[in-house]
Chain A
Amino acid sequence: MSDVITTDAVIIGAGPCGLFAVFELGLLDIRCHVVDILDRPGGQCAELYPEKPIYDIPALPVVTGAELTSRLMEQIKPFNPTFHFNHMVTGVRKLGDEGFELETDGGLVFRSRVVVIAAGGGSFQPKKPPIPGIEAYEGASVFYSVKKMEALRGKDVLIVGGGDSALDWTLNLQPIARSLTLLHRRDDFRAAPDSVRKMRELAEAGKIHFRLGQVTGLKGGDGILEAATVKGNDGQSFDIACNAMLPFFGLTMKLGPVAEWGLNLHENLIPVDTEKFETSVEGIFAIGDINTYPGKLKLILSGFHEAALMAQKVFRLKNPGERLMFQYTTSSSSLQKKLGVS
């Protein structure tokens, strides 16, 4: 049994809205833990468009997804939130009036007064190529991520894809696999040039096979893969013998476990009120792209506003009966102290 982490608020999602929620809650002395399935902050800004410009953040005429993320990280530094990356919140359970218990797929357990769902389009999960019958092999012979490298020792490994994940795992697994084939649809890669160079050296030395084509079918039985059928770029089909296949086609967003937490949902979004951005369960809030209300716009700036109003209600839940004085960061010495500027 892991240790239970006790906190005021667990924020699910480290995208721009989740990060700014740390700021708004922090101003009201509410301590936050932030959980995200990715390995870094930024959410869609980090995963989908780190280099793409955003033009509608007030006072920033143009900012990239990566830059916006790093500015938000800078802004919330005074509140010293604890981040738990590579974790997906799988369960949320109400504990009477005490708040909530949350658990992650990585075994973390939280007890928290409130939960703030800032999960955007849901959780990023690996894309599963729609190869007929692939489900039967998932977990036994087909893997979308590598949790334990040792499990692939001595295997005939087929890696599919041409991005950094495909290249990195080609280099990492080559020494321990019995044989390794990298299959990609073209002789060009969207990956670090250094990895591409190393891969080509291994291929030239005969230590790996690099083939061009796309998987169309799988052969095997009882979850054990024997070969992948591939259509080559010349239109001819051929088989690649393998007993482990790792397809790397990037990530896609799925609503994921949120659907099972007993919240009212509307078309995969969480309805909230527009005063507190609270869900159908008191103490669980939803901000950013994942919520819906009349007039909702899926804009980062809307999520920032939602975070500010949500924080007011969280303060009242945490400090019942206490009067919350509205203050500006420009003039309040107590807020400035929290921000470390006075």
Chain B
Amino acid sequence: MAKITFIQHSGAEQTVEGLPGMSVMEAAVKNMVPGIDADCGGACACATCHVYVEPDWVEKVGARNAMEEDMLDFAFDVRENSRLSCQIKISDALDGLRVKVPEKQF
């Protein structure tokens, strides 16, 4: 079990638990975290689960994959620490992960 904290644009925080192997997007959707729309259900095909990984976690979370990099072209305000949360697999190493939810997914 890994704890993941979603920080809304307003500053409100919500911490949810995810099982290793699940994606960060799935943990968000399961717990009804606002702002993670995940239109495509996790196929890396819509860019509506965009998050900003908090700076301390960027290295642990790792780099974007090529498909995700392409898909981020359809996200708004993409930054260095942008990831699609459906492409981040939860592991024990990510226990305590903090990500910011963009103001709007579109």
Contacts and interface: CB of A to CB of B under 8 A. Distances in A.
Interface string A227-257: 0000000000000000000000110110000
Contact of B43 (A48, A162, A163, A186): A48
A48 B106 CA distance: 16
A121 B39 contact: yes
Interface stretch (A127-135, A279-287, A327-335): A127-135
A130 B77 CA distance: 9
Contacts of A318: none
B92 interface: no
A161 interface: yes
Interface residues of A, number: 23
A161 B73 contact: yes
Contacts of A121: 39
A253 B46 CA distance: 10
A42 B78 CA distance: 30
Contact of B76 (A48, A129, A162, A253): A129
Contacts of A250: 46-47, 74
A214 B43 CA distance: 25
B74 A249 contact: yes
Contacts, number: 54
B47 A130 contact: no
Interface residues of B, number: 20
A305 interface: no
B77 A48 contact: no
A184 B73 contact: yes
A126 B76 CA distance: 13
A144 to B, nearest CB: 11
Interface string A26-54: 00000000000000000010001100100
A11 B71 CA distance: 31
B87 to A, nearest CB: 13
Contact of B103 (A130, A162, A163, A185): A130
Interface of A: 44, 48-49, 52, 121, 127-130, 161-163, 184-186, 188, 190, 214, 216, 249-250, 252-253
10 contacts: A48-B39, A48-B46, A127-B106, A129-B76, A130-B76, A163-B73, A184-B73, A186-B73, A214-B76, A250-B47
Interface of B: 39-40, 43, 45-48, 69-78, 103-104, 106
